[in-house]
């Protein structure tokens, strides 16, 4: 993994081509090794490869080595969704319980935690949508 102009770049191998998209395998150790969140992220302890579905703009073939670059604005959106969105929903749940429905402190906390749990399901749906419709990586170049 390289950091270049605020872009995360990885080298991967094309495993298959389907309908204008390439399935690229990236070594997780190379990808997660430099990440500041690796100590509390469960994916960093897993040695299985990561697969990304990317638009095949360079007509890469199966088994080609390619350099991928993470789209910066998607990285910002992803950070918001993963870190801020659950916190916001938890606070909204607490405020609804405490001030709108005028429930006890304990019930407001339970509602806040319920909203936090709901946020994880929403994040999962957003992740599935992005995996299918909006690839977060682009192929920058083919390596020889």
Domain assignments of the chain as residue spans, ordered by start: 2-143
Q: Are 9 and 75 in contact (CB under 8 A)?
A: no
Q: Are 12 and 28 in contact (CB under 8 A)?
A: no
| Span 23-45, average pLDDT | 69
Q: Which two tokens stand for residue 61?
A: 């073939």
pLDDT, position 90: 98
Q: Which two tokens stand for residue 120?
A: 């994880």
Q: What is the mean pLDDT of the chain?
A: 85
Question: Over the range 105-140, which residues count as b (16 or more CB within 10 Å of their CB) and which as e?
Answer: eeebbebbeebbeebeeebeeeeeeeeeeebbbebb
Residue 70 has pLDDT above 90, yes or no: no
Instruction: Look at 3-12, 22-31, 37-46, 92-101 and tell me which has the smallest mean pLDDT.
Output: 37-46
């Amino acid at each position: 993994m390289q950091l270049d102009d605020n872009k995360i770049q990885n080298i991967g191998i094309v495993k298959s081509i389907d309908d204008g998209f390439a399935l690229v395998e990236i070594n997780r150790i190379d990808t997660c090794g430099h990440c500041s969140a690796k100590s509390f992220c469960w994916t960093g302890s897993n040695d299985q490869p990561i697969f990304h579905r990317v638009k095949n703009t360079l007509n890469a073939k199966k088994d080609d080595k390619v350099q991928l670059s993470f789209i910066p604005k998607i990285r910002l959106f992803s950070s918001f969704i993963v870190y801020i969105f659950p916190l916001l929903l938890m606070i909204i749940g607490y405020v609804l319980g405490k001030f709108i429905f005028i429930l006890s402190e304990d019930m407001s906390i339970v509602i806040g935690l319920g909203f936090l749990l709901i946020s994880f399901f929403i994040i999962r749906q957003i992740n599935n949508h992005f995996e299918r419709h909006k690839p977060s990586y682009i192929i920058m170049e083919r390596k020889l």
